[in-house]
Structure 1
Amino acid sequence: MQEVKTVVTPVDFSDNAKMIADSAGYMAGKFGAELHLVFVLQNFEDYSGFFVPPVNLPNLEKELLESAQQKMEEFAESCREKALAAGIAGLHSKVLTGDVAEEILQYAKEVHGNLIIMGTHGYKGLERIMFGSVADKVVKGACCPVMTINPYRKDCGEKE
């Protein structure tokens, strides 16, 4: 296994995202690696068979992207202090658009990611049925090790 210098962690801004990012920061710190937080805004084209897009779709996409970038800046800032205290080599954040799993895999490849750390749960309900498990697709397609964290499991050795 190659030395871990770059950890990529997808976030979805859910209630569990901070815990996943903190865990990734801890692991990146153990390796003295950089931590890359990434959020992927799902393509509207993926929904094209389900609805007729409004006339102002380009404006909506632009507004969603700007909102996601602002949210990512705030999220990364909220993680910065704890991640730096854990000993990471640097903290980076990026917002991408496209198929979530494909963009995560492509980004990890671009930044020479040595480890992807992500949650097992994100999408719920109809979106999960339509798009499947992002974690599953990343695990199957990654060219580096993937560590998954189930944020709902509390019975694996933790003392309450």
Structure 2
Amino acid sequence: MREIKRIVTPIDFSDNTETIVSAAACIAGKFSAYLDFIFVVQKFEDYTAFFTPPANLPAMRDDLLNAAKEKMNAFIEDNKDELYALGVSTVNGQVISGDIAEAIVNYADWANAQLIIMGTHGYKGFNRIVFGSVAERVVKTACCPVMTVNPYREECKKNQK
């Protein structure tokens, strides 16, 4: 395995984000690796089978991207002390748009990442049936190893406290 210099971690700002970020920061700190947090704004085109998109779709997409960028900046600012305490010296936050799994894989490839660390859970129920597991698709198509974190396991929750 190559030396780990850059880690990509997709986040969604859900309740599980803290668990996934902690795992990624611990690994990044151990390897003194650069840590990229990415948030993917899903393409509305993926939902056209369910509804007719509004005419102002480009403006709506821009509003979502801008709101997500603000949230990413605030997230990094709010967590930088904890990240640095875990040994992470370089953190980057990116917001991108597209098919979620494809965007994660493409970003990791573009960033020349040696590892992707991501949660195992996102979509549930009907959305999971329609869109499939993002983590599964990333594992199958990634250009580098993928470490998945199950935020629902009791060990994860115990280690958080």
TM-score scaled by length of structure 1: 0.94
Q: Percent identity?
A: 52
Listed one character per residue, the Cα deviations across residues 25-57 of structure 1 (whole Å, up to 9, x for unaligned) are: 111000010100000000001111211111222
Q: Give the match for residue 90 of structure 1.
A: 90
Cα distance, 1:125 vs structure 2: 2.5
Name the aligned partner's letter for residue 50 of structure 1. Answer: F
What number of residue pairs does the alignment pair up?
159
Name the aligned partner's letter for residue 84 of structure 1. Answer: Y
**Contact residue 18 and residue 79 of structure 1 kept, 8 A:** no
Q: Give the match for residue 69 of structure 1.
A: 69
Q: Give the match for residue 147 of structure 2.
A: 147
Q: Give the match for residue 113 of structure 1.
A: 113
Name the aligned partner's letter for residue 113 of structure 1. Answer: A
Structure 1 stretch 68-77 or stretch 35-44: which is displaced more? 68-77
Q: Give the match for residue 137 of structure 2.
A: 137
1:17-28 superposed matches below 5 A: 17-28=17-28
Report the Cα distance in structure 2 between the residues aligned to 1:40 and 1:22, rounded to whole angstroms: 20
Cα distance, 1:105 vs structure 2: 0.4
Report the Cα distance in structure 2 between the residues aligned to 1:47 and 1:148, rounded to whole angstroms: 27
Name the aligned partner's letter for residue 97 of structure 2. Answer: T
**Contact residue 21 and residue 79 of structure 1 kept, 8 A:** no
Report the Cα distance in structure 1 between the residues aligned to 2:124 and 2:150, rounded to whole angstroms: 14
Report the Cα distance in structure 2 between the residues aligned to 1:132 and 1:79, rounded to whole angstroms: 31
Q: Can you give the 5+ residue segments of structure 2 that lack an aligned partner in the other structure?
A: none
Cα distance, 1:82 vs structure 2: 1.2
CA RMSD after TM alignment: 1.5
Q: Give the match for residue 33 of structure 1.
A: 33
Report the Cα distance in structure 2 between the residues aligned to 1:107 and 1:57, rounded to whole angstroms: 24
Q: Secondary structure at the match of 2:36?
A: strand
Q: Give the match for residue 127 of structure 2.
A: 127
Q: Can you give the 5+ residue segments of structure 1 that lack an aligned partner in the other structure?
A: none
Cα distance, 1:155 vs structure 2: 4.5
Structure 1 stretch 53-62 or stretch 99-108: which is displaced more? 53-62
